[in-house]
Amino acid sequence: MNPPAVVVTGLGAVSSLGVGVDRHWQQALGGHAGIHPLGLFSTATHRTAIAAEVPDDAVLVPGRNLSRAERFACTAAAEAVRGIPNEVLRSPRAGVFFGSSTGALYEAEQFLRALLQHREGHLAPLAAQQNDGPGTAVARMLAVQGPVVCFSTACTSANVALSAALDALRSGEIDVAVAGGADELCETTYAGFNSLRAVDSRPTRPFRQSRAGLSLGEGAGVLLLETLAHAQKRGATMLCELAAAGLSCDAHHVSAPDPDGAAAAIGNALQAAGLSPDAVTFVNAHGTGTTHNDDAESKAMHAVFGARSSSIPVTSSKSLVGHLLGAAGGIEAVFTVLSIVHRLVPPTAGDEPADPALGLDVVIGEGRALPAQNVGLSTNLAFGGNNAVVLFRSLRP
């Protein structure tokens, strides 16, 4: 018996572009980047001074005792589940699969700073200092009763979570999953990436010749996933299918990406979906804007797609919302689903043409129209040599 198809029935997004999927899509189509001078903490002792920070006026789920990442996660999840009755979620047949790479590290920094000054900091947000904090907060808010699993595989965390949710739905363990990721800006990751000279002092320019690094961001991206039968039974609006995922590890270097590993993850996703590389109609790339990542990723695409690499539309959402680390896969999955729904690939922000040496068809300037039936890949590469790819496709007529 074939495993059940899994469909996307809800989306939620929080980032420097604000709160809400519609807002994100409108901003993305206009190529508006939410990368600005950083206000969350002083950048006086750091090498750079910009980031994609969630704006102060963003309306988030309240909670003085919640970390920023928990509030991002809960806000995005609340949007994603808007269309589903509460009782469907309050069941052992509903689960949460989430990714985060920093947990509540910003709040932990505040706490440690206070300790170093012989003061007591605000303890309550540190209940989420472990990286399961945002995902478990979502589970508690929605009162699910099924599996709750949180992954921390650096920048692939959310894609790994989507992959695990897909498995749980296909195995029959659950009917509904809330899956995605959330992360928050903090000094440790900001200084850490800067120590690697991986942060651009200007807004990131993925796949451009002048690219000089990433822009760090924060926020959350969340998907509501259901088995096709469950979605049909409750009359849900189905956006597209989550058809497969592919994971791999470079086993090469802790922080330098290896094209073979990324190519293997793409190949694994295609194999799991039973598709050939020719089926892919667009790629929402990891596209961090670092020299090494964009080189490795383009080589991986050439290895998988061959000559077609130069004609498959490729975009980088990180040019708009920055690099959300453990949440990157979540927000990029949101953009990938929206591309399928609207049959349009949003542009990679900025006017500069793509680096010809990469040999990719990077969407720049205006959105690119897609055919009626689409297969979209969302790729993430991470520290630890981790690679995770999720494959979405249009609902079959």
Partner 1 sequence: MKRRDVVVTGIGCIGPWGIGMQELSNALQRAEPLSSPIDRRSHYHRRAGAELLAACGPLELSPWLDAQQARRMSLLSQYAVATARMALQDAGLRTVRSDRTAIALATAFGPGAFTEQLTRQILEKGGKAASPFLFTDCVANAPAGQVAIDLGARGPNVTICQREAGPLLALAHGANEVAAGRADVCLAGAVDEMSELSHAILDRFRALARGRGEVPRPFDRRRRGFLAGEGATILVLEPETDARARGAHLLCRVGPTVRAFDPSAGRASFGTGHELLAATLRERIAGTLCEVDTIVSSASGAVHGDALEARVLRAACPTRTNVLVPKAVHGEYGGGTLATALLALRGAPFGYPPACSEPDEALGIAPTSGFVHARRVLCSALAAGGVAAWSVLEAP
Please identify every residue annotated as catalytic.
155, 286, 323
Separation of alpha carbons 166 and 39, rounded Å: 38
> What SS3 class is residue 196?
coil
| H helix runs in the chain, sequence order | 21-29, 68-80, 86-89, 105-116, 133-142, 157-171, 187-195, 228-233, 259-273, 291-305, 318-321, 328-342
> What SS3 class is residue 249?
strand
What residues from 365 to 384 belong to the interface with partner 1 (CB under 8 A)? 382-384
Q: Which is nearer to partner 1, 163 or 227 (CB)?
A: 163
Separation of alpha carbons 184 and 206, rounded Å: 21
How far out from the chain centre does Cα 295 lie?
20
Q: Which segment (146-154, 215-223, 314-322, 363-371) binds partner 1 by CB under 8 A?
A: 146-154
Site membership for partner 1, residue 72 (CB under 8 A): no
Site membership for partner 1, residue 145 (CB under 8 A): yes
Q: How far is the CB of 142 from partner 1 (least distance, A)?
A: 8
The angle subtended at Cα 87 by Cα 229 and Cα 22, nearest 5°, is 75
What residues from 79 to 138 belong to the interface with partner 1 (CB under 8 A)? 90, 92, 95-96, 100-101, 103, 105, 108-109, 111-113, 115-116, 118, 123-124, 126-133, 136-137
Site membership for partner 1, residue 237 (CB under 8 A): no
Q: Which is nearer to partner 1, 25 or 111 (CB)?
A: 111
Q: Which segment (6-14, 54-62, 153-161, 224-232) binds partner 1 by CB under 8 A?
A: 153-161
What residues from 305 to 344 belong to the interface with partner 1 (CB under 8 A)? none
Separation of alpha carbons 146 and 10, rounded Å: 19
Separation of alpha carbons 387 and 369, rounded Å: 28
Site membership for partner 1, residue 160 (CB under 8 A): yes
- Nearest 5°: phi and psi at 228? -55, -45
Q: How far is the CB of 278 from partner 1 (least distance, A)?
A: 23
Is residue 159 within 8 A of residue 378, CB to CB? The reply is: yes
Q: How far is the CB of 274 from partner 1 (least distance, A)?
A: 12
Q: How far is the CB of 99 from partner 1 (least distance, A)?
A: 9
Size of the site for partner 1 (CB under 8 A): 79
Q: Which is nearer to partner 1, 108 or 344 (CB)?
A: 108
The angle subtended at Cα 190 by Cα 188 and Cα 195, nearest 5°, is 90
Site membership for partner 1, residue 359 (CB under 8 A): no
What residues from 11 to 40 belong to the interface with partner 1 (CB under 8 A)? none
Site membership for partner 1, residue 193 (CB under 8 A): yes
